[in-house]
Amino acid sequence: MSVVSRSDLSGKRVLVTGASGFTGRYMVAELRAQGCHVVALGSQDKVEGAHETIVADLRNSEAMGAAVAAARADRVVHLAALAFVGHGNVEDFYSVNLLGTRNLLAALEQSDYPPAQILLASSANVYGNASAGVLDEDTIPSPANDYAVSKLAMEHVAGLWRDRLPITVVRPFNYTGVGQAEQFLIPKIVSHFARRAEVMELGNLEVARDFGDVRSVVAAYRQLLQTSAAIGRTVNVCTGQGHTLMEIVQMCQQITGHALEIRVNPAFVRANEVKVLVGDNRRLRGLIGSWEPVPMEQTLRWMLGVNV
């Protein structure tokens, strides 16, 4: 498939929700490198790297209306979400991920300065426990936890605006990088090797994930923002290759030369754990053309600070 013509992002005002979060910080840097004027929306008074910061709560519809009016954004990247699957308060998933997104879209529709494109970050977790081969965007969703349900519901809510707003939904598979909280698996594993711990407790070591690099993910997001053919589409963002946790552990061991004892803690094994989650990225590549995700070993070396 040929790559569509792309617009120039230089000088464009881009509103980024969740700009102070893990992905948001890299997204802001990626957009700034393209010459964008970045407007951050979040709970902090000032977001590092952003040209402007607007403090507003996604759950407050009036505040969102005022924020969108002030942003006057040419593009929107909606990253703000509650993302940790093990989060204890189920209601938060729906108030932030679902209703917060609805408030944002309603405000954008009513804006006197409509954006040319809106990128909404969903999640590959919506696919659930489907494990037959590689998952493409036509795989029927079957979410296995409240986080995934809230993200799929968000997609359905976005569908209400498909004919009125220029929306692209992305379904990123697992990704990591420097700065991700240790409550997530890869940073947890890396931190144990970095401090040369003797023992590490994990859950199911045979869980396979399509682990990507946050730098590759934000590059894909940025390229999709430059691609008008992505409007109205749902797009996987993934490497197309799966790694089990044991493979990640073995890579870290090879990189650091440090061996540690792995103990499987039953408390870390979730009953509704998605066993295999590997994505098909052909649609993404068809839309944006050249895109080579960072290999997992290189990502781990970056996180460990070894031979980067």
> Looking at the predicted structure, is the pLDDT value of residue 87 above 50?
no
CATH number where 74 lies:
3.40.50.720
pLDDT of residue 266: 84
Q: Which residues pair with 119 in a beta bridge?
A: 77, 168
Catalytic residue status for 147: yes
What phi and psi, each to the nearest 5 degrees, are found at residue 103?
Answer: -65, -40
Question: Within a domain: residue 298?
Answer: no
pLDDT, tens digit, 9 for 90 and up, residues 48-81 = 999 999 999 999 999 999 999 999 999 999 998 8
What's the rounded mean pLDDT across residues 2-21?
A: 80
What's the rounded mean pLDDT across residues 85-89?
A: 57
CA distances 34 to 10, 144, 215, 234, 293, Å, are 6, 38, 14, 24, 19
pLDDT of residue 105: 98
> Looking at the predicted structure, is the pLDDT value of residue 270 above 80?
no
Question: Within a domain: residue 34?
Answer: yes
Enclosing domain of residue 136: 13-176+213-238+281-291
Number of domains in the chain: 1
pLDDT of residue 1: 39
Which position has the higher pLDDT, 66 or 4?
A: 66
Q: Return contacts of 127-135, CB within 8 angstroms, 24+ apart.
A: 127/171, 127/274, 127/277, 128/274, 129/274, 129/275, 131/275, 131/276, 131/277, 134/240, 134/278, 134/279, 134/280, 135/236, 135/277, 135/278, 135/279, 135/280
Q: Which two tokens stand for residue 37?
A: 């004027």
Residue 177 is which amino acid?
Answer: G
Average pLDDT for the chain: 91
pLDDT of residue 84: 57
What's the rounded mean pLDDT across residues 101-110?
A: 97
Give the predicted TM-score (pTM) of the model: 0.92
pLDDT of residue 272: 65
Lookup result for tokens 């969102």 = 64
> Looking at the predicted structure, is the pLDDT value of residue 2 above 50?
no
Grade residue 308 by pLDDT with cuts at 50, 70 and 90. Answer: low
What phi and psi, each to the nearest 5 degrees, are found at residue 202?
Answer: -130, 175
pLDDT of residue 250: 96
CB 16, CB 27: distance < 8 Å: yes
Q: Which 3 state secondary structure label does DSSP give 155?
A: helix
Question: Within a domain: residue 264?
Answer: no
pLDDT of residue 131: 60
CA dist., res. 230 & res. 235, Å (int): 8
List, in order, residues 6 or more apart from 80 with CB less than 8 Å away: 17, 18, 21, 24, 41, 42, 58, 96, 100
What's the rounded mean pLDDT across residues 169-190?
A: 95
What does the buried/exposed string (b/e) look like for 230-269 if buried means 16 or more CB atoms within 10 Å of the residue's CB?
bbebbbbbbbbbbbebebbbebbeebbeeebeeeeeeeee
CA distances 295 to 112, 155, 169, 262, Å, are 43, 29, 24, 24
Which position has the higher pLDDT, 178 or 97?
A: 178
CB 51, CB 26: distance < 8 Å: no
What's the rounded mean pLDDT across residues 275-304?
A: 94
Identified catalytic residue from 26, 127, 147, 221: 147
Question: Within a domain: residue 20?
Answer: yes
Q: Which two tokens stand for residue 175?
A: 């990704």
Question: Within a domain: residue 164?
Answer: yes
CA distances 69 to 39, 45, 262, Å, are 12, 18, 52
Question: Within a domain: residue 111?
Answer: yes
Question: Within a domain: residue 167?
Answer: yes
Residue 269 is which amino acid?
Answer: V
What's the rounded mean pLDDT across residues 17-42?
A: 96
pLDDT, tens digit, 9 for 90 and up, residues 198-254 = 999 988 888 888 999 999 999 999 999 999 999 999 999 999 999 999 999 999 999
What's the rounded mean pLDDT across residues 184-191?
A: 94
pLDDT of residue 132: 58
pLDDT, tens digit, 9 for 90 and up, residues 130-168 = 665 689 999 999 998 888 999 999 999 999 999 999 999
pLDDT of residue 69: 97
List, in order, residues 6 or more apart from 204 with CB less than 8 Å away: 245, 264, 268, 269, 273, 275
What's the rounded mean pLDDT across residues 1-15?
A: 72
Residue 219 is which amino acid?
Answer: A
Question: Within a domain: residue 200?
Answer: no
